[in-house]
Each structure stands twice: as C-alpha cells, then as structure tokens.
Amino acid sequence: MTELAVPLDAVAARRLPRRLPHWMTRWGIQTAVVVLLLLIWQLSSGWLIDPLYVSSPVAVVQRLVQLIQTGILLPNTWVTFGQALVGFVVGAITGIIIGNVMGVMKVFGLVAAPFVTFFYTLPRIAIAPLFVIWLGVGYSFKATFVAFVVVFIFITPTYAGLRDLDWDMVHGIHVLGGRRWTIIRMAILPQEVLWITTTIKLAFPTAVATDIVAEFVASNQGLGYLMNAAAGTLDTASLLAEVLFISIIVTGVLGLVSLAERRWFRWRVET
C-alpha cells in the first residue's frame, strides 16, 4: 500500500490555528477598552454622577453636532489652529536654527544652555499677561506667545542631537571627498530628522494648548473663548465636545507626522 508523502509544513499548518495579524489584535483590544469606558460613563451619568459635572457621551456627541451645524465651532477652530500653526512654525524654525548654532559653536552652546533651561521653565500662564501688555489681545499676541513657548521645546533636542552626532562619520565623509551638502545629507540630516519629528509630537499639542491658554487670558474668539464661556455657564456638554474636537484634530495631525516619520526611516529595521 502506497502512502502519500505530505509535507510536514502543510501538516503543521493544518494543526495550528490561524492567528490574527498583530495590528488587528491591538486595534481590537483598544476598541474594546474605549467601548467599555464609554459604556461605564454613559451608565454612570445621571445615576452615580450628576450630569451637570460630567454630562454623558451621547449628550457630548449631540452637542458637538449642534455646534458644527450652527456654524459656531468651525470658524473658531480656524482661528485657534491658525494662530497655533503660525506660532508653531515660527518657533520650530527659530528653535532648530538656534539649536544648530549651539551645536556647531560649542562655546556658545555651553553659555546659552542654562538660559534656555531658565526660559523653558517659566510658568506660561503667569507670563501670558505680559504679552497682552506688550502686544494687545489680537492675533499677534497668541501667535507670538505660542512661538515663545515652542522655540525652547525645539532648541534642546536639536542641540542634543548635534552634540551626540557621530563626528567620526562626518570626518570620514570629508576625507573621502564629500562636500558640505553630502555631510549634511548623509550624517547630520538623518540624525536631526529623528529628533525633530519626535519633538513635533510633543510641541504641536503644546502649541495648541498654549494658544487656548492665551485665549483664556484675553480673547473674543477661538476655541479657548468658547470653552471659557461654556465653563462660565456650567455647560459641561459643550465644554467636553470642544475638548473632544480639539483632541481629534491634534491626534490626526500627530498620526500624519508618525506616517511621514515611518516613510522617512523606512530603511530602519524594526526590532
């Protein structure tokens, strides 16, 4: 009697259950956690906790839809994120330039580092009124205030990235005939892009939060103004809806940054 030869891999494949892809397992767990938390929140609101303090997920979503339909939310969103984006770009570019200068000019870096730390640790809400006195309550106040906060977030990582640079590689490229652009492209830029993209994930939410703080201090438009008005009238549904809307936008922006980072470092081996 002739036996058919069956590959061992095929037999093992039939015996072992198929496993879901890693990303499906992760997303499934995350979705289950979110659904469970929302369910607990919905059931607790009005039963264990007064809705005046936490509202409910259904009421928050309904209020968010109302704010969008009435045309109140989107114009103020453009104001807040426009100011935050301008301040973020100006602060990022300035911080990267200063950080590079500190990294290249070592004496300047050693002298300037304590001042950078001092200004970075200043309480933002305390110095916001000073910017109101200097610049008024208009657009320039918020954008400048955001830039002032963001610039110090970018200086330290950029300076640290250049300080930890593999200078042997730089000298080797120079000895082999590489010009300045070759050194920047092959040695400096990959190192700095890693630090900068990581810093963006920290600095952009900080820029938005800083602009909202500035709108709390003095403003008649923007999401911070709407949130301040909702808090003053104990409208927790509107307040949570605006917070949710901000978080969705910021999370989307950070997702795009992560996607760009993965494409830039596609040559890196994931461990």
Considering the domain boundaries, does residue 153 fall inside one? yes
Our count of domains for the chain comes to 1
Identify the pLDDT of residue 85.
94
Chunked in runs of 10, what are the mean pLDDT values of the chain (271 residues)?
48 52 72 84 76 81 90 91 94 90 82 88 83 84 92 87 66 64 64 79 91 86 89 86 92 87 62 38
Q: Which of 201, 199, 208, 119 is nearest to 159 (CA)?
A: 199
pTM of the model: 0.78
Judging by beta carbons within 10 Å of its beta carbon (0-12, 13-18, 19+), is residue 197 exposed, middle or buried?
middle
Phi, psi dihedrals of residue 45, rounded to the nearest 5° = -65, 120
The residues with which 45 forms a beta bridge, in sequence order, are 49
Q: Does 110 reside within a domain? A: yes
What's the pLDDT score for residue 174?
A: 63
Alpha-helix runs per DSSP H in 16-105: 22-44, 51-54, 57-69, 73-104
Contact call for residues 149 and 95 (beta carbons, < 8 A): no
Q: Does any domain span residue 95? A: yes
Q: Rounded CA gap, 142 and 131, in Å?
A: 8
52 belongs to a structural domain: no
Cα 224 to chain centroid distance, Å, stands at 18
Whether residue 190 is contained in a domain is answered as yes
Q: What's the rounded Cα separation, in Å, for the pair 92 and 145?
A: 13
Identify whether 118 is part of a domain.
Answer: yes
Q: Which two tokens stand for residue 219?
A: 């403003």
Q: Which of these, 128, 266, 140, 107, lies nearest to 209 by C-alpha position? A: 128
Instruction: Return the pLDDT at 197.
Output: 82
Residue 31 lies in a domain: no
Q: In the numeric block, which tokens belong to residue 33?
A: 């956690």
Query: For residue 269, what pLDDT is reported?
Result: 43
CB atoms within 10 A of CB 58: 13
- Give the Cα separation of 212 and 43 in Å (integer): 31
**In one letter, which amino acid is 171?**
H
| Residue 66 placed within a domain | no
What is the 3-class SS of 68-89, one letter each residue?
HHCCCHHHHHHHHHHHHHHHHH
**Domain enclosing residue 101, as ranges:** 78-224
CATH number at residue 165: 1.10.3720.10
| 266 DSSP assignment | T
Contact 89/99 with Cβ under 8 angstroms?
A: no
